[in-house]
Structure 1
Amino acid sequence: MKIYSTVLLLFLGTFCFAQSVINNYKYVIVPKQFEKFRSENQYKTSTMVKFYLSKQGINTFYDDALPLELDSNRCLALYTKLDDQSNLFSTKVAIVFEDCKGEEQYRTQMGSSKTKEYVKAYREAISEAFNSLSNFQYTYAKAEDNTPVILNFKDDVKKLPAPPPPPPAVEPEPEVVEDTTESTQEPQDKEKSDLLPMPEEQTEAITLQDAVAEVAENEPVFLGTLYAQKTETGFQLVDTTPSIQFYLKETSLSNVFVAERKGQTGLLFLKDDIWIFEFYQGADRIQEELQIKF
């Protein structure tokens, strides 16, 4: 019982530490190619790390598509690395978070897998490593300047000076009327030109459709776990509401279905043990990753 309590306290302490550290940063950056790998996104490591960070609600970007804000202040972000301690018998990785100075701020637990297939092994190991953030709630805690304001009245005026005496009365001279139409018109026109309203700054509106297209272009969208229910022609997929999200029709190929969802028609197929829904939105081909239980 004492050992159980110690492990629980250690876990809670690690979780709270992660919460306090990551919430201090506005972005988390994932490299397209981790160190020690020979090619970009080898074994889908970059895709999986970005997927699990985005799933936690963290503002995650690849290192080749940084937010413009980081051009002036790189310290707004944490930068991920993969601590790969794999050997001939197992795949072992931990995700390390460093600040803009390269100093380690947090690392996850070590995830491992004994699967021989590299893509599946790294997916299992990374998934287990992210168990450290399973209950993590991301909320960016913007640093505020809490320096107290000190008021100094040392040089304030203690007594108002006496008002100056009024100037002596001067009789006004007779006004000479001249034809100043031309000279008067020019400053009036100048004054009017000075008062022209400034053009309003226009900002480009970003629609929900554009945002979805941008997300789909970078990464499959995670919709949560769906549950398959048998029908006459295949299956229907429902969520936990429950609400029907997809209708599936069987094809002559195993693990390949014709999928329909609210006016969208595409293919649902199994790739590397991941269900992918592929469809066209205009001229763009989009893939969404689904988690299905049959």
Structure 2
Amino acid sequence: MKKIVLFFALLFAGAAFAQSENINNYKYVIIPEKFDFFKEANKYNLNNLTKMALEKYGFTVLYTNQQMPAEVALNRCGALYGDLINDSGMLTTIVSIVLKDCTGKVLFTSEKGKSKQKDYQKAYYEATRIAGASLADLNYQYNGAVIAVPATPTPAVPQATAVATNSNSTATATATAVAVVPVPVNNENQLFAQPITNGYQLVDTTPKVVLKMYKTSQPDSYSAQGDGKNGVVFKKANEWFFEYYQNDKLVSEKLNIKF
């Protein structure tokens, strides 16, 4: 029995060590300015509290709306992505801190912080503080590693072109107004969204900045600029599109974006 207990103890210790070693490869952690389970940014000061907890144990923490350092701006996989998970029930507030890599793989989940305080602000504060304290178990120390830009077998991003056909060229020539013809352009190439001030920049695997998109008052809708094109990027039926005018024709380019 003692041998079995010792085996599992060594197994868990080895897993924790490997986990810590992976996290030591990262200098930066990026966290949102608003957690998904709240409607407003930094509710109860939890985002700041989570940031301070990570900084206490050695991480350099950035918000998604901050200007990114060059090594992260050119490679979103050069940072970890932090979040606060809410598992609260009717009588108990329960949260935990998670750290993921750029693919969404969870590298660390903190101890669940629990509080039975009746005041929501006090309860979330206490629970987050407890969860943050378990970051000490990582024994984090950045080792100076440089995370490589992820490779992909897809070719470089082609330039979208607009093509219009008209069997009656005479009518076209004499028309006083040019009809707007949307031209769909499928684009299966992977683009990585990197946070910038007031929006994102889309980077291919070169890495090259293909497009910059800026927030508007509408959700999932951005004004966009890139390669001499000005238009809008928006989400439709869970897919992203870049629309702009080219030679008086509306071009609708499908984008494969990974946030």
TM-score normalised per structure 2: 0.49
- Structure with max Cα Rg: 1
TM-score normalised per structure 1: 0.44
Give the number of the structure whose residues are more often strand, by fraction: 2
Which of 1 and 2 has higher RCO (CA within 8 Å, sep 6+)?
2
